[in-house]
Amino acid sequence: MGIYPEKIETIFEFKIPKGQIPERLDVYLTNSIKNATRTKVQRAIDEGAVFVNGKSAKASRKIQPNDEIICKIMKAPPIDLIPENIPLDVVYEDEYLMVINKPAGIVSHPGFGNPYGTIVNAVLYHLGMRETIKIELYDEDDENEIQDEGLIFSSDAIRPGLVHRLDKDTSGLMLISKNPDVHAKLAQQFQDRTVDKFYYALVWGTFKDDNGRIEEDIGRSQRNRKLFAVLKKGGKSAITEYEVLERFEYLTLIKIKLMTGRTHQIRVHFCHNHHPVFGDVSYGGDSIVFGVNNSEFKKIANKCLISVNRQMLHAKELGFIHPESGERLNFTSELPEDFEKVLKELEKINEDNL
Residues with catalytic function: 167
Rg for the chain, CA atoms, rounded: 23
Beginning with the edge strand found earlier in the chain, give each strand of the sheet holding 68-75 in spatial order. Answer: 8-15, 68-75, 50-52, 55-56
Following CA atoms 189, 190, 192, 194 in sequence, which dihedral angle do they give, to the nearest 10 degrees?
A: 70
With b meaning 16 or more CB within 10 Å and e meaning fewer, what string describes 22-33? eeebbebbbeeb
Cα 325 to Cα 93, 95, 115, 194, 256: the distances in Å are: 14, 12, 35, 16, 28
Q: How many of the other CB atoms lie within 10 Å of CB of 333?
A: 20
Q: Which residues are CB-contacts of 166 (< 8 A; sequence separation ≥ 6)?
A: 102, 108, 172, 174, 315
Contact 204, 298 (CB under 8 A): no
Contact 248, 350 (CB under 8 A): yes
How far apart are alpha carbons 229 and 226 in whole angstroms? 10
How far apart are alpha carbons 102 and 225 in whole angstroms? 26
> Which amino acid appears at position 281 of this protein?
V
How far apart are alpha carbons 290 and 175 in whole angstroms? 36
Phi, psi of 302 (to 5 degrees): -65, -40
Indicate the angle between helix axes 295-308 and 337-352, nearest 10 degrees. Answer: 170
